[in-house]
Structure formats: structure tokens, C-alpha cells
A and B are shown apart, each in its own frame.
Chain A
Amino acid sequence: MHEMTLVAGILEIAGERAREAGAARINTVTVEIGRLAGVELSALAFCFETARLGTLAAGAELAVRELPGRGRCPACGAETEIDFYAALCPACGGCLEVVGGRELRVASIDVD
């Protein structure tokens, strides 16, 4: 249940940015979460609902942009989209190295 920790980080980053810009409130927080980042999106949404109260994002929507996992084959160099860690190269059958999909980022906020 590390999602609450992530939500606390999201709200802190969003709040800082909004205050910097002198915004009155945050309407949307857009985050980018890689499919291999180990985040349960329903738990993230659930935690956000609760944790946002009393912050500039009290009425904000959490918009999640899921980023695909990407694997590169060390043997043949092929890159392919993957949705789990232990994926095999479709070209040569080698074990893919994960090169994308672990992202955990606040991309932008929409404010008034």
C-alpha cells in the first residue's frame, strides 16, 4: 500500500507548483505512471480522493496517463512493447531488458 506515499508526493509537487504560480485552486493533476512501476491505479485513485482534502487540490481530478512498458533485446537490439517484466524478444527469443515503463511523474496541473 505504497500508493498513499505516492499520492502524498503528487499532492506536494502539485501544491508547490500551484502556489509558485499564484493559482487559487487545482482542477486537474495529470500524472504519468509506467505500466511496470508497480502501482495499483485503483488504489492510487482511492488514496487521492481522501488525501486531496484540505489541499489546493481538494476538488481536483486525478488524470492518469499510463505509459507502456518497453523492452530492448540485448541480443538482437529489437525494441518492443511489453506489459510484464519477464518478456521474451519476439524476434529472437532472448530475454528483454526493461527500458521503459517504470515512470512515476507529475506531468502537469490545470489551475484557476
Chain B
Amino acid sequence: MCDTCGCNQPPDAVTYRKPGGHDHPHRHGDLEHAHPHEHPHDHGHPHDHDHQHDHDHPHDHDHGGARRLAVEQDILRRNDLTAERNRGWFEGRGVLALNLVSSPGSGKTSLLERTIRDLRDEIPLAVIEGDQQTLNDAERIAAAGAPVLQINTGFGCHLDADMVRRALAELEVPAGGVLLIENVGNLVCPALFDLGEHAKVVIISVTEGDDKPQKYPAMFAAASLCVINKTDLLPHVDFDVEACKDAARRVNPALAFVELSATRGEGLDGWYRWLRGRRAAAAR
């Protein structure tokens, strides 16, 4: 599987940068060299090789003819295996990892900036930023005071587990802290790609339609928490909070909700309470 999708771009089209950092070809060199020990894992297919040996028999018998071979493999197996490795990485360090997903413009970065400013003395935070282009979001996060790595996916529409694995080699994620992964703004594709996170947080702003959960059910079904952002704008827009929640609950009855305004600060307590609770659970 390629790192990205929809574009046939070469793997090195995906870049990993820090604000004020070096040029990315250099970083790619670092990444390659930083993981000589990864290769034994990649080559660790003694199990597969056994199968290959077993299958030599039918091969001999059916030689030359048309035949059907059973496969029964998950298409996303490589992503899912890497996601499990990431999960182990987080578990070993007691890190809570959250995957923040939404459409573009819902206020993900503003929520992160505010969270970092409010919690940085209490909880060690680190951020992975996913965007197709630019270092803009990483610069905002760095200015707010958290270590950050920007992944630019080129034309890719989502982050995948391998991108996060590479980012973890570059980013200092403090043990016992919280890693906030801001996915590419897209309510469709990121739902399918497990990054190894503990939970997906879906963010919807009141300037969007309150029927988003019905229109993009897979994302709301995959999330643990739904943040309804920009509540300060409610008097000016036609957004029914309860209708939105009802629609989301029909897709995912276990979904929790927090209503807040990241820019005005209303309702942030609920978000921080949820974050602290999940962090305590991840540290156990």
C-alpha cells in the first residue's frame, strides 16, 4: 500500500517537517537511518514462509491449469498492523493518543491552540499536524508552546498509520503525556484508517449543517467523542444542537458530546474533563 491515495505520487512526496526545521530531504535521510531495527520486523514472515511451503503441493498438482486460490486477507492489513505497532508504542510510554477528525474549517487547530495554552503546565502535550500542504498549522501549534511535527500528505486525503509511525521517530512525545493528531480535514477517508490512537474525536462547528452525522455516518460511528465547536455563533446560525446530537446518536449510541467555543472559551471544562479522564485510563 502506498503512503497516500488517489494520486500515484511517490512515497517521498509525503514530507515531515518542524517549524524552523531543516529541509525535508535531510529529514528523510534521518528517518531511514533512525530505524535499521525496523527491517527485521518487516522481514519477520517465518509464518508466511511456512504457508508458502505448504502451498507448494497444490502447485505441483495443478501445474499449468487455471485455478482459484483462497486469500481471505483484509485489504487494510498493512495499515492495521502498523497501527497496532503504534498502539504498542503509546502503551509502552503511557501516552494517550487522540485522532482529531473533521471537515476543513471546523476549528481543530484553534481548539488545539487553546488546549495547549490552558493545559501545558498540567499535561505534557505534543501534536502531529496533517495537511496536504503548508506548515501554517504547525507554526500556530509551536507558537502556542507544544512540540509539533507537520506531515504534508501532498495530494493524500488522510493520514495513515505508517505516516504516524514515521512522525513518532521525529517528534519528542513526552512519556505520560497526550499526543493530539490533527488529521487532514476530511469527513470521509480518515474514518477508515486506524492510526493506533486510543480514540477518534470528531469536531463539528455550528456553521456547518446539523445533519452532518447523517451525511457522513462512518466518521461519527467511528468516533468516541463529538465536539460541537463555535457555540458562540449559535444566535446567528440555523443549527439545532439537539437535532445534531440525535442524528449522531442514531449512528453511534455510545458517542459522548461536548459543546464549546474554542475562541471564546465557553464549555472547555467539559473537553478538559474528558481529556483528563482518558489520560488517566491510558496511564493505567
Contact = CB atoms under 8 A, between A and B. Distances in A.
Interface in A37-61: 37-38, 47, 51
B79 to A, nearest CB: 8
Contacts of A74: 253
B51 interface: yes
B69 A12 contact: no
A20 B51 contact: yes
Contacts of A9: 1, 75-79
Contacts of A104: 74-76, 192
B187 to A, nearest CB: 10
Contacts of A88: 250
Contacts of A105: 72-75
Interface residues of A, number: 42
21 contacts: A2-B5, A2-B157, A4-B6, A5-B1, A5-B160, A9-B76, A9-B77, A13-B75, A14-B71, A17-B71, A23-B69, A36-B218, A85-B221, A88-B250, A95-B253, A104-B74, A107-B70, A108-B70, A108-B72, A110-B66, A111-B69
B253 A97 contact: yes
B218 A86 contact: no
The prevalent SS among residues of A at the interface is mixed
Given A20-B51, A38-B218, A107 B249 contact: no
Interface string B49-81: 001100100110000011111111111111100
Interface residues of B, number: 47
B251 A86 contact: yes
Contacts of A106: 71-73, 75
Interface of B: 1-2, 4-8, 51-52, 55, 58-59, 65-79, 157-158, 160, 188-189, 191-193, 213-214, 217-218, 220-221, 247, 249-253
Given A18-B69, A38-B191, A6 B75 contact: yes
B29 to A, nearest CB: 25
B250 A95 contact: yes
Contact of A86 (B51, B76, B214): B214
A107 B214 contact: no
